[in-house]
């Protein structure tokens, strides 16, 4: 069982930056992929960014050019650097790790971007 703890959320003005962290209780090196999702009030949870075990990254169109996902296997942590934040980025952000037979989610961290 792996536990994920997100941190780094908060209130920021439009145009600002935040870096989210997701710390895993166990090794992440064996997982196929780690990802960040977000869910705004009244909306579905959507993928924001994904990074595979080989370091391949994928981004939602809304995140391309502004967000960067990275992972530090030594620290069992995945990050999401968010720049040029917009009010529409306001949501609860969730970390997810996926293995061949496992799928774990964090509890989420709130990001609020004021206009």
pLDDT digits (tens, 9 = 90+) for 11-40: 999 999 999 999 998 777 778 899 999 999
> What mean pLDDT do residues 60-69 have?
98
| Both structure tokens of 87 | 């009010």
| Both structure tokens of 69 | 């996902």
Of the chain, the percentage scoring pLDDT greater than 90 comes to 83
pLDDT band with cut points at 50, 70 and 90 for residue 4: very high
pLDDT band with cut points at 50, 70 and 90 for residue 100: confident
pLDDT given at position 49: 98
Strand 4-7, strand 18-24: pairing: antiparallel
| Measured distance CA(1)–CA(15) in Å, rounded | 38
pLDDT given at position 27: 78
- Please state the separation of Cα 46 from the chain's center in Å: 11
Of the chain, the percentage scoring pLDDT greater than 70 comes to 100
pLDDT given at position 29: 74
72 phi and psi, to 5 degrees?
-125, 100
């Amino acid at each position: 069982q792996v536990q994920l703890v997100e941190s780094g959320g908060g209130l920021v003005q439009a145009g600002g930056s935040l870096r989210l962290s997701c710390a895993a209780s166990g090794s992440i090196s064996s997982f196929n992929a780690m990802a960040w999702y977000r869910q705004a009030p009244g909306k579905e949870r959507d993928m924001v960014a994904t990074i595979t075990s080989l370091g391949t990254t994928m981004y939602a169109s809304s995140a391309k050019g502004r967000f960067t996902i990275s992972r530090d296997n030594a620290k069992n942590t995945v990050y999401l650097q968010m720049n040029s934040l917009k009010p529409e980025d306001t949501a609860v952000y969730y970390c997810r790790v996926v293995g061949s037979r496992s799928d774990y989610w964090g509890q989420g961290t709130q990001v609020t971007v004021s206009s």
